Amino acid sequence: MPEDSEDAATLAQVADRLFKAFPGLAPDVIRDSVATGYAELRYVRVRTYLPVLVERRAHDLLVAAADGRSGRWDGSRGR
């Protein structure tokens, strides 16, 4: 997880929103998806968008897991 306390607080808020969006999933699964999203995006230049990007990525991972897909990003946004 992030070393920056501001990022940690932001990611906790992201996880809280995802807990509400996916009440049937274990909290550890949601935290792991947020951690993965953060790991993939932590070096973005414009930090303003980091929370929304991480939340979208974590959401995509959770939906993919629920659907039995890998959740690996292939560069496309087609759904």
Does residue 1 have a pLDDT over 50? yes
Mean pLDDT of 56-71: 82
Q: Quote the distance between the C-alpha of residue 24 and its chain's center.
A: 17
Contact indicator for 54, 14 with CB cutoff of 8 Å? yes
Give the C-alpha separation, 53 to 4, whole Å. 17
Q: What percent of the chain has pLDDT over 90?
A: 54
Q: How confident is the model at residue 44 (pLDDT cuts 50, 70, 90)?
A: confident
Does residue 28 have a pLDDT over 50? yes
**Closest of 55, 65, 70 to residue 12, by C-alpha:** 55
Q: How confident is the model at residue 66 (pLDDT cuts 50, 70, 90)?
A: confident
Range 14-18 contact pairs with CB under 8 angstroms and sequence separation of 24 or more = 14/51, 14/54, 14/55, 14/58, 17/55, 18/55, 18/58, 18/59, 18/62
If one compares 70 and 73, the residue with the highest pLDDT of the two is 70
